[in-house]
């Protein structure tokens, strides 16, 4: 039953978080297309909300797995997959955001931005490190 519970956690927190992140990025794209653009405070707010989602949802997945009686490593694995699913949505939407920003700002160099393998692997490493941190905090709290 461990695998079923982990899959449910991944589906609820990972896919739900990916949908929230995609909606947040979509809202950012719509708002950035306005004639006056977005002020820096709004962009900072979007960044803060994105990071909060990226930390809180894996932490909740780890907490849910560990409070159900599964160990630290199941919680860590669940949190890692949730973080990676959310990261994959961000990485997949990056070229679209860059193209939109190139249209709005008039800088054609932005249109060619694509994540490189080293950037993607660095992001996966950050996902694992963040998952280890939040799982450790959740293990301490439970």
Alpha-carbon gap, residue 85 to 81, rounded angstroms: 6
* Cβ-based neighbours of 2, under 8 Å, separated by 6 or more: 70, 74
**Do residues 57 and 86 make contact, with C-beta atoms less than 8 angstroms apart?**
yes
Alpha-carbon gap, residue 6 to 135, rounded angstroms: 14
Residue with tokens 């998952």: 131
**Do residues 17 and 86 make contact, with C-beta atoms less than 8 angstroms apart?**
yes
Task: Report pLDDT digits (tens) over 20-60.
Answer: 888 888 887 777 766 566 677 877 888 888 888 888 999 99
Task: Report pLDDT digits (tens) over 76-112.
Answer: 999 999 999 988 888 888 777 777 777 766 666 666 6
For position 125, what pLDDT does the model report?
92
Q: Per-residue confidence at 129, pLDDT binned at 50, 70, 90?
A: very high
Q: What is the mean pLDDT of the segment spanning 110-126?
A: 82
């Amino acid at each position: 039953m461990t695998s079923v519970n982990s899959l449910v956690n991944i589906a609820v927190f990972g896919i739900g978080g990916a949908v929230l992140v995609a909606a947040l990025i979509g809202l950012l794209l719509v708002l950035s297309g306005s004639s006056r653009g977005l002020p820096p405070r709004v962009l900072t707010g979007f960044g803060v909300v994105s990071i909060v989602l990226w930390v809180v949802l894996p932490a909740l997945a780890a907490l849910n797995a560990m409070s159900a009686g599964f160990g630290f490593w199941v919680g860590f694995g669940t949190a890692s997959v949730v973080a990676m699913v959310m990261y994959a949505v961000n990485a997949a939407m990056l070229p679209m955001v860059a193209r939109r920003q190139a249209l709005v700002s008039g800088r054609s160099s932005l249109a060619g931005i694509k994540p490189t393998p080293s950037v993607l692997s660095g992001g996966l490493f950050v996902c694992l490190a963040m998952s280890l941190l939040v799982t450790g905090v959740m293990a301490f709290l439970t």
